[in-house]
Amino acid sequence: MDRTRPETALARTRRARRVDRALALRYPDAHCELDFRNPFELLIATVLSAQTTDLRVNQTTPALFARFPDAEALAVANPAELEEILRPTGFYRAKSRAVLGIGQALVERFGGQVPARLEDLVTLPGVGRKTANVVLGNAFGIPGITVDTHIARLSKRLGYTTSDDPLVIEKDLQPLLEKRQWTMACHRLIFHGRRTCFARRPACGACPVAALCPSAGIGENDPVRAAAMLKG
């Protein structure tokens, strides 16, 4: 890319879509890395994923959902029992209060079912736009931009936004990507952030979009050393 002249909105959109196509080739298996079987499980797992890893959540949720398989069961959970199950995820007291509140709210206001509207989801305890868009995109097939730490970091590095505000980043990304690709584009960016474009030292020399990235060169540029850094 030409870094000597300002980028037009049209050029940025074209570049963003080229980046997404390149990442689709690099990560053809990109997907939500939280295990779930239905919208209820994905909602709870996403809330639990705050401040911990998807792997840790996936190790914890089988016991949780075996004991509390739906909103009705979760709504009447014993808080102490819930805390003990969720202890491995960290911040377990706050998370226990949140998921207990979610179960109760789903039963009281939504007939025990997870709503398929963002404006309803964000009224649930512990649920913001990020969690709501994860659920909408992956459980209901409704496209959404999910701004987690990886997407926030990569969006700035790729020159898609200058903001640190998740809502602003979401709005900046929306016109750059085809709406039908929003959910999958986010998965690909997250995969890239976890496997190549690391926070402290990205593997620039092994990056499939280095030629399209205004931040290319800030990390390890030697192809051999960069390739050795890749994860996954």
Which has the higher per-residue pLDDT, 14 or 3?
A: 14
- Asked if residue 84 has pLDDT above 90, the reply is yes
The string of pLDDT tens digits covering residues 38-54 is 999 999 999 999 999 99
95 pLDDT band, cuts 50/70/90, is: very high
Q: Are 75 and 107 in contact (CB under 8 A)?
A: yes
Kindly tell me the burial class for residue 196, based on how many C-beta atoms sit within 10 Å of its own C-beta (0-12, 13-18, 19 or more). buried
* Domain end marker among 109, 139, 169: 139
Residue 126 lies in a domain: yes
- Claim to verify: residue 169 and residue 126 sit in the same structural domain: no
- Domain end call among 139, 163, 193: 139
Task: Give yes or no: residues 127 and 192 share one domain.
Answer: no
Report the catalytic residues. 130, 148
Residues 81 and 112 in one domain: yes
User: Which DSSP symbol is given to 8?
Assistant: P
pLDDT at 4 over 70: no
pLDDT value at 109 more than 90: yes
Distance of CA 232 to the CA centre of its chain: 17
Token pair recorded at residue 127: 């649920």
Query: Last residue of a domain, which of 139, 173, 207?
Result: 139
- Would you give the distance in Å from CA 144 to the centre of its chain? 10
Query: In this structure, what DSSP letter does residue 82 have?
Result: H
Contact call for residues 130 and 106 (beta carbons, < 8 A)? no
Q: What is the mean pLDDT of residues 202-211?
A: 98
How does residue 5 score in pLDDT terms, banded at 50, 70 and 90?
A: confident
Number of domains in the chain: 2
Are 125 and 152 found together in one domain? Answer: no
Cα distances from 12 to residues 17, 173, 180, 194, in angstroms, run 9, 10, 18, 24
Using the structure block, give the residue that is written with the tokens 């226990």: 96
- Residue 3: pLDDT band by 50, 70, 90 thresholds? low
Question: Average of pLDDT values for 65-92?
Answer: 97
In angstroms, rounded to a whole number, what is the distance separating the alpha carbons of residues 213 and 58? Answer: 33
pLDDT in tens, 216-225: 999 999 999 9
- What is the per-residue pLDDT for 232? 79
Q: What is the per-residue pLDDT for 42? A: 98
* Domain ranges, residue 221: 9-30+146-229
Check residue 13 and give its pLDDT.
97
pLDDT at 77 over 90: yes
Instruction: Give the model's pLDDT for residue 107.
Output: 98
DSSP label at residue 39: H
Confirm if 139 and 38 have CB atoms less than 8 A apart.
Answer: yes
141-167 pLDDT per residue, tens: 999 999 999 999 999 999 999 999 999
% pLDDT > 70, the chain? 98
Angle between helix 79-86 and helix 54-67 axes, rounded to 10 deg: 150
Average pLDDT score over the chain: 96
What is residue 6's predicted lDDT score, i.e. its pLDDT?
86
Is the overall model pTM greater than 0.85, yes or no?
A: yes
